[in-house]
Amino acid sequence: MQSYDYAHRQGIEDISWEHFAQLSAELAQRLGDAGVEVIVGIAKTGLFPATAVACHLRCEFYPVRVTRRVNDLVTYDQPVWKVDVSPEVEGKTVAVIDEMADSGETLALVAGRVQTLGATKVITASLISHSWANPAPDVITLVSDAFVIFPWGRRVYEHGQWPYNPELVEALALQGISPTELEW
């Protein structure tokens, strides 16, 4: 399965802010029980759960940026480094967190870099993972092969208005659904 191949998703998994908070708390508990000392969050949207978990665990947090996108448009076939991992991970148990594991490549890439910088243990984690993610994250709060809609991805601000996110509209259209049919 290719990343962003929305035509082959099975249904919709619509995540509310409340559900996001529950999933983040569950992720924090599982990572806290694993002795995580440092959180590395993958920007952009992986920072939402990574920040929540770091706050819940009261531990250090470092963002990284690895992406296939430029100006929110998929541009690269493989993830590209934009912001590197902090050397502060050395000698620590580190959780690398993203909101979604689609292919699994981005989490694996960042985890490898964290390991190279001397972390004693690296745990990959995501709120949600597709079943085809390979490698799958070590810690997942929800496995779903649906098209996942996060609360921060529903609308965008452009030209003084808040239309539905064009990527969301396109993905829903592939399933024969209009965003106006959803309850938000």
Taking only the tens place, the pLDDT of each residue in 98-138 is 999 999 999 999 999 999 999 999 999 999 999 999 999 99
Say whether pLDDT at 180 is over 50.
Answer: yes
Distance separating alpha carbons of residues 100 and 32, to the nearest angstrom: 20
Answer for the pair 59, 95: CB distance below 8 angstroms, yes or no: no
Radius of gyration of the CA atoms of the chain, in A: 16
Confidence of residue 175 (pLDDT cuts 50, 70, 90): confident
Residue 184: what pLDDT? 77
Residue 71: what pLDDT? 87
What tokens appear for 119 in the block?
């972390």
Q: How do beta strands 60-67 and 80-83 pair?
A: antiparallel
Of the given ranges (4-8, 34-38, 112-116, 169-173), which has the lowest mean pLDDT? Answer: 4-8
Residue 1: what pLDDT? 40
Residue 174: what pLDDT? 87
Helices then strands, counting H and E runs in the chain, come out as 4, 10
* 3-12 average pLDDT score: 71
Residue 7: what pLDDT? 66
Pick from 22, 44, 23: nearest CA to 126: 23
Residue 169: what pLDDT? 93
Answer for the pair 56, 28: CB distance below 8 angstroms, yes or no: yes
Tokens 């924090």 locate to: 28
pTM metric for this prediction: 0.93
Pick from 111, 115, 130, 119: nearest CA to 66: 111
Q: Which residues of 32-54 are buried (b: 16+ CB within 10 A; e: fewer)?
A: eeeebbbbbbbeebbbbbbbbbb
Domain residue ranges in the chain: 11-152
Q: How do beta strands 93-101 and 121-129 pair?
A: parallel
* 71-93 average pLDDT score: 93
The fold adopted by the segment(s) 11-152 is Rossmann fold (3.40.50)
Which tens digit of pLDDT belongs to each residue from 14-65?
999 999 999 999 999 999 999 999 999 999 999 999 999 999 999 999 999 9
